[in-house]
């Protein structure tokens, strides 16, 4: 029987953010956590961005919450 505990520990929850332009970003965090960050940014000060970490590259990206049209579970999560 394969040991799935190790593979679960290595996996990181991700979410895909879909922008109005059709661009898609897979970022670290569960869809619920990403949604909370986007909502918090949209309720923040004018032009507040939601800072995310791309799942593959690890680079930080800033998302304009007004341009997000969809969130979905990522492939890594």
Question: What percent of the chain clears pLDDT 90, i.e. is strictly above it?
Answer: 75
Could you tell me which of 75, 62, 59 has the C-alpha nearest to residue 11?
75
Within-domain flag for 18: no
Lowest mean pLDDT among 4-8, 33-37, 53-57: 4-8
Within-domain flag for 20: no
Chain CA centroid to CA 13, Å: 9
Token duo for residue 49: 């961005």
Looking at every residue in the chain, the average pLDDT score rounds to 88
3-state secondary structure of 70: strand
* DSSP strand pairing (50-53 vs 60-63): antiparallel
* DSSP strand pairing (14-19 vs 24-28): antiparallel
- In the chain, the number of structural domains is 1
**Containing structural domain, residue 37:** 30-77
Within-domain flag for 17: no
Mean pLDDT of 50-77: 94
């Amino acid at each position: 029987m394969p040991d799935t505990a190790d593979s679960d520990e290595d996996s990181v929850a991700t979410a895909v953010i879909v922008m109005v332009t059709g661009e898609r970003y897979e970022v670290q965090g569960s869809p619920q956590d990403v949604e909370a960050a986007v909502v918090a940014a949209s309720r923040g000060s004018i032009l507040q961005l939601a800072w995310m970490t791309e799942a593959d590259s690890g680079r930080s990206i800033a998302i304009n919450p007004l341009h997000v049209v969809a969130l979905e579970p990522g492939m890594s999560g």
